[in-house]
């Protein structure tokens, strides 16, 4: 059964959002939820067929939507797509950077070009899109009031908070995305009234990322260690995005919100709870009777 939005259906009424990677996965679900809550949607992606079917899908919910082909690694594409979005809808309120590249590989097997490719898509691509959007999304931009800027939302991950196997390139790329989020929040929040926030998804079911990175056998096993014992849904990420994009989030700037069920904090449980109770009482009893900080007498 589809999860329902707890938000009112007009919280993004009149807003215009451009989403990179908006044609599939998390990006598409954010597009759909933004659209269902009143926004007009432009999605950017590399593959025309993917964009076409995503646009039809969005339109089937009555959402005003267009697809714009382009690669975030190409500055001319970024510029053209932002311009076309504004030409179509008159302004730009929200930019979501959800385009990402990923594959599993060990550091010794990863070529420098493979490392660079993911940084180019995730980190440089995010920066390029932000820069090309600036003149439209800042306060006083076309169709905007002179006091109110828009929102940039960058999708990263939690895997660089610690370290992850076979993800050195992605961890480096997402760490850079988070740095872009914080630095722009400071600089463009101050100068242009643009809020810049991030969402760091954990493992989200039914996405290309999950199919690539967490085959069923692995994700079933890792579920045992998760605080909430379950994968997230694309819906969970879209609800966080809606919160940050709506007026509910109007004082939130420079925040990167993990939406991972607490997974990045989690560790396997080595002792069952009952054993901890027993052990803890015994150790406590012993320690109360033992002198603290006094070396045992040698006499």
Q: Which residues contact 165 (CB under 8 A, 6 or more apart)?
A: 106
What is the nearest approach in angstroms of ligand COA to the Cβ of residue 174? 10
Contact pattern from residue 113 through residue 142 relative to ligand COA, giving x for each residue in contact according to CB under 6 A and a dash for the rest: xx--xx------------------------
Specify the residue, 111 or 282, whose C-beta has the smaller distance to ligand COA: 111
Specify the residue, 29 or 93, whose C-beta has the smaller distance to ligand COA: 29
d(CA 136, CA 100) in angstroms, rounded, equals 23
3-state secondary structure of 97: strand
Q: Closest CB to ligand COA belongs to which residue?
A: 101
Specify the residue, 3 or 111, whose C-beta has the smaller distance to ligand COA: 111
d(CA 160, CA 171) in angstroms, rounded, equals 5
Angle of helix 75-89 versus helix 125-137 axis, rounded to 10: 30
Rule CB under 6 A: is residue 189 a binding residue for ligand COA?
no
Contact criterion met (CB below 8 Å) for 222 and 214: yes
d(CA 215, CA 257) in angstroms, rounded, equals 25
Rule CB under 6 A: is residue 105 a binding residue for ligand COA?
yes
Rule CB under 6 A: is residue 102 a binding residue for ligand COA?
yes
The residue within the footprint of ligand COA, chosen from 70, 101, 249, 258 (CB under 6 A), is 101
Rule CB under 6 A: is residue 183 a binding residue for ligand COA?
no
Q: If DSSP states are collapsed to H, E and C, what string results for 157-195?
A: CCCCCCCCCCCHHHHHHHHHHHHHHHHHHHHHHHHHCCE
Q: Which two tokens stand for residue 56?
A: 């039809």
The residue within the footprint of ligand COA, chosen from 38, 57, 80, 103 (CB under 6 A), is 103
What is the nearest approach in angstroms of ligand COA to the Cβ of residue 210? 8
Rule CB under 6 A: is residue 100 a binding residue for ligand COA?
yes
Question: Which residues between 200 and 239 bind ligand COA (CB under 6 A)?
Answer: 208-209
Rule CB under 6 A: is residue 106 a binding residue for ligand COA?
no
Rule CB under 6 A: is residue 192 a binding residue for ligand COA?
no
What is the nearest approach in angstroms of ligand COA to the Cβ of residue 68? 17
User: CB under 6 A: which stretch of 1-9, 107-115, 180-188, 283-291 binds ligand COA?
Assistant: 107-115
Specify the residue, 38 or 209, whose C-beta has the smaller distance to ligand COA: 209
CA distances from 274 to 90, 266, 268, 279 (A): 62, 20, 16, 9
Question: Exposed, middle or buried by CB within 10 Å (0-12, 13-18, 19+), for 73?
Answer: middle
What is the nearest approach in angstroms of ligand COA to the Cβ of residue 81? 17
Rule CB under 6 A: is residue 162 a binding residue for ligand COA?
no
CA 50, 56, 61, 62 torsion-angle sign: positive
Rule CB under 6 A: is residue 271 a binding residue for ligand COA?
no
Contact criterion met (CB below 8 Å) for 21 and 101: no
Contact residues for ligand COA, defined by CB under 6 A: 100-103, 105, 110-111, 113-114, 117-118, 208-209
């Amino acid at each position: 059964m589809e999860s329902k939005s707890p938000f009112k259906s007009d919280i993004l009424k009149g807003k215009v959002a451009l989403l990179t990677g908006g044609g599939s996965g998390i990006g598409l679900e954010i597009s759909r939820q933004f659209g269902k809550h009143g926004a007009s949607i432009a999605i950017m992606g590399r593959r025309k067929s993917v964009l076409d079917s995503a646009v039809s899908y969005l339109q089937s919910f009555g959402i005003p939507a267009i697809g714009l082909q382009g690669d975030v690694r190409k500055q001319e594409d970024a510029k053209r797509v932002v311009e076309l979005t504004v030409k179509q809808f008159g302004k730009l309120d929200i930019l979501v950077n959800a385009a990402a590249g990923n594959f599993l590989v060990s550091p010794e097997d990863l070529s420098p070009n493979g490392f660079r490719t993911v940084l180019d898509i995730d980190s440089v691509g995010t920066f390029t899109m932000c820069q090309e959007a600036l003149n439209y999304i800042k306060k006083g931009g076309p169709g905007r009031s002179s006091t109110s800027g828009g929102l940039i939302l960058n999708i990263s991950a939690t895997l660089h908070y610690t370290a992850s196997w076979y993800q050195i390139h992605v961890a480096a790329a997402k760490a850079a995305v988070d740095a872009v989020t914080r630095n722009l929040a400071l600089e463009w929040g101050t100068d242009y009234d643009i809020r810049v926030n991030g969402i760091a998804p954990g493992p989200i079911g039914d996405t290309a990322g999950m199919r690539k990175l967490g085959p069923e056998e692995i994700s079933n096993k890792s579920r045992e260690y998760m605080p909430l014992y379950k994968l997230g849904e694309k819906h969970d990420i879209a609800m966080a995005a809606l919160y940050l994009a709506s007026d509910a989030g109007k004082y939130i700037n420079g925040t990167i919100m993990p939406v991972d069920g607490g997974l990045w904090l989690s560790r396997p449980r080595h002792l069952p709870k009952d054993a901890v109770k027993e052990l803890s009482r015994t150790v406590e009893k012993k320690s109360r009777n033992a002198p603290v900080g006094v070396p045992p007498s040698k006499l």
